[in-house]
């Protein structure tokens, strides 16, 4: 049974930082591309960042470039999202996802096979 478990969310003031983690089990993690998505209240789920299975290909949505950094540790079956200079508009539930194959840099939610339950990130002004 595949499980993706996010952690690290919370409440932070604008300009602050958080580090999200996503621990995977039940799959051969090193063969999956991983992505982070987010969904704010009343909005559609949005691609945030993706990293290929080997970590060589990394993509970000424009709104987080220069502030967020995705990384992975295949020995620990974990993907991370370091979020700096957080803004109120970053407030959302953040989800990690795993894809055996992907296109368009992993930006399409439909390409992902497995999803976590999400972790809430709230940024106050």
Task: Give the Cα separation of 4 and 44 in Å (integer).
Answer: 21
For residue 104, pLDDT over 90 is answered with: no
pLDDT in tens, 30-52: 999 999 999 999 999 999 999 99
**Quick one: pLDDT band at residue 103, thresholds 50, 70, 90?**
confident
SS3 64: helix
* CA-wise closest residue to 53 among 69, 37, 77: 77
pLDDT in tens, 72-98: 999 999 999 999 999 999 999 999 999
Mean pLDDT of the chain: 97
Task: Give the Cα separation of 20 and 92 in Å (integer).
Answer: 13
């Amino acid at each position: 049974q595949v499980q993706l478990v996010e952690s690290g969310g919370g409440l932070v003031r604008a300009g602050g930082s958080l580090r999200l983690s996503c621990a995977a089990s039940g799959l051969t993690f090193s063969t999956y591309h991983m992505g982070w998505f987010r969904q704010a209240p009343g909005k559609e789920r949005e691609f945030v960042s993706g990293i290929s299975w080997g970590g060589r290909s990394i993509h970000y949505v424009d709104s987080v470039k220069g502030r967020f950094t995705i990384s992975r540790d295949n020995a620990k079956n974990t993907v991370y999202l370091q979020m700096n200079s957080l803004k109120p508009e970053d407030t959302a539930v953040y989800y990690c996802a795993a894809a055996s194959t992907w296109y368009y840099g992993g930006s399409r939610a439909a390409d992902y096979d497995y999803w976590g339950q999400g972790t809430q990130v709230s940024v106050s002004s």
